[in-house]
Amino acid sequence: MGSFGVKESRKAFEGLGGSSPDKLFGGLPTPCYILDEAMLRRNGEILAGVAKRTGCRILLAQKAFSNYDLYPVISPYLDGTEASGLYESRLGAEEMPEKEVHVFCAAYREEEFDELLRYADHIVFNSPSQLDRFGFRAKKAGKSIGLRINPECSTQEGHAIYDPCAPGSRLGTTRAQWDEKMTLELTELLDGLHFHTLCEQDSDALETTLKAVAERFGDILPRMKWLNFGGGHHITRPGYDIVRLERCIRSAQERWNLRVYLEPGEACALYAGYLAAHVLDVLQNGETQIAVLNTSAACHMPDVLEMPYRPPLYGAKEPGELPFTVRLCGSTCLAGDVIGDYSFDRPLREGDLLLFGDMAIYTMCKNNTFNGMPLPEIFVFDNNRKLHCLRKFEYMDFKQRLGRLL
Ligand SMILES: *Cc1c(COP(=O)(O)O)cnc(C)c1O
């Protein structure tokens, strides 16, 4: 992880079908996101194949991708949506109706719970105390009830903020917490268990995690109807070991006689979007050549700073690989609003169009108007390679969130 190699970079622009960004998107106002319908379908086909061959069910984790106008494109391949709380549950129920709505939240609130019961089919609790507080009501409303477990098995390095198994984690119930707090009455409420411990990982990490799950919760699982493997499975990434994933799913289903759910976010919309931006200024500070863009890592691709990672960029390579290395920066006041260093075969100039790849996931659902930065418009590149504007933002979108509406 960290930066994108050449192979990933190629995959990230496969949806362009060999045409140049200037030719396809040259006329668009920037910054703008472009959602690629064909790539969403391609991801959907891979996921649906896993579900069909194993009998598991796969949900879209909406926190990664919640552009509901595209739900009709991916829903035929999926069994439903996964939500992080009330609003995403409602969005799933409204925009992917007829399919399952699952929700997990670290802590539900009293004032939202009755409304949540209107939207969610599966409700997953984080702790025995939350289960005790809300579980009986949810059961009475006919919901399928789950508890998130913490198998205490860290399989990733370098992304501590994405490791729910780190010591002291609030996410999921450890076996020690279970033994201390789970009464027979609470245990009988449960239809399933849920774990979510992976982040952009392959199925070898899942296999390791399942061993820990079996070791710690193997005595409970035969009483469950389902086991949710969470997200973080990078199933649609080239080279992902799908055969091993399917082996993991089948063996869990057979061993414990239950149904497996997966709820990937990234894998549903991987490589299915772009962010187009223009160069506003080019400057030099000592050895460093800098281009200031009309977009921002902080506002429009926050995971570039949070994760952090360097997004794929059309036509560019690693720093130093091509003759002209440039640091691409956002136009906010944040000194660290840096997208990354890239090399090009010619110097960048004011007015150049740049196209970042893999910009469907964790972008639009996380973007913000820090510094009063405009929100990028959203376009769809449809199956006939035609562009449609989904949403245009303006000054009022910035203003209305911050105070009194006149
Ligand atoms: C984040 C999250 C997901 C989706 O993770 P991806 O890395 O986007 O696949 C699924 N389930 C839960 C509980 C999550 O917190």
Q: Kindly report, residue by residue over 326-342, the tens digit of the pLDDT.
A: 999 999 999 999 999 99
Q: Indicate if ligand 1 lies below 6 Å from the C-beta of 263.
A: yes
Would you list the DSSP string of 106-165? SS--HHHHHHHHHH-SEEEESSHHHHHHHHHHHHHTT-EEEEEB-------SS-GGG-TT
Q: Indicate if ligand 1 lies below 6 Å from the C-beta of 128.
A: no
Q: Indicate if ligand 1 lies below 6 Å from the C-beta of 196.
A: yes
- Looking at the chain, the whole-number percentage of residues with pLDDT higher than 90 is 95
Q: In 175-287, at which residue ranges do the beta strands (DSSP E only) sit? A: 192-194, 226-228, 259-262, 273-285
Whose alpha carbon is nearest atom 7 of ligand 1? 232
Q: Indicate if ligand 1 lies below 6 Å from the C-beta of 151.
A: no
pLDDT at 6: 57
What H or E segment, with its residue span, contains residue 180? helix 175-181
Q: Indicate if ligand 1 lies below 6 Å from the C-beta of 63.
A: yes
How far is 142 from 267, CA to CA, in rounded Å?
Answer: 31
The ranges of the chain with pLDDT < 70 are 1-7, 406
How far is 101 from 91, CA to CA, in rounded Å?
Answer: 9
- Say how many Å lie between the CA of residue 63 and the centre of ligand 1: 7
- Say how many Å lie between the CA of residue 64 and the centre of ligand 1: 8
- Locate the ligand 1 atom nearest the alpha carbon of residue 230 and give its number: 11
- Locate the ligand 1 atom nearest the alpha carbon of residue 234 and give its number: 9
Three-class SS of 188-207: HHCCEEECCCCCCECHHHHH
Whose alpha carbon is nearest atom 8 of ligand 1? 265
Q: Indicate if ligand 1 lies below 6 Å from the C-beta of 310.
A: no
Task: Determine the residue of 105, 194, 196, 202 to mutate for testing ligand 1's pocket, defined as the one with the most ligand atoms within 8 A of the Cβ atom.
Answer: 196
Q: Indicate if ligand 1 lies below 6 Å from the C-beta of 64.
A: yes
Half-sphere exposure of residue 353, counting CA atoms within 13 Å on the CB side? Answer: 16
Q: Kindly report, residue by residue over 129-162, the tens digit of the pLDDT.
A: 999 999 999 999 999 999 999 999 999 887 788 8
Cβ within 8 Å of residue 263, ≥6 positions away: 58, 59, 60, 61, 82, 102, 196, 228, 229, 230, 231
- Locate the ligand 1 atom nearest the alpha carbon of residue 361 and give its number: 8
Q: Indicate if ligand 1 lies below 6 Å from the C-beta of 265.
A: yes
- Say how many Å lie between the CA of residue 352 and the centre of ligand 1: 36
Task: Determine the residue of 100, 227, 263 to mutate for testing ligand 1's pocket, defined as the one with the most ligand atoms within 8 A of the Cβ atom.
Answer: 263
Q: Kindly report, residue by residue over 197-225, the tens digit of the pLDDT.
A: 999 999 999 999 999 999 999 999 999 99
How far is 236 from 43, CA to CA, in rounded Å?
Answer: 6
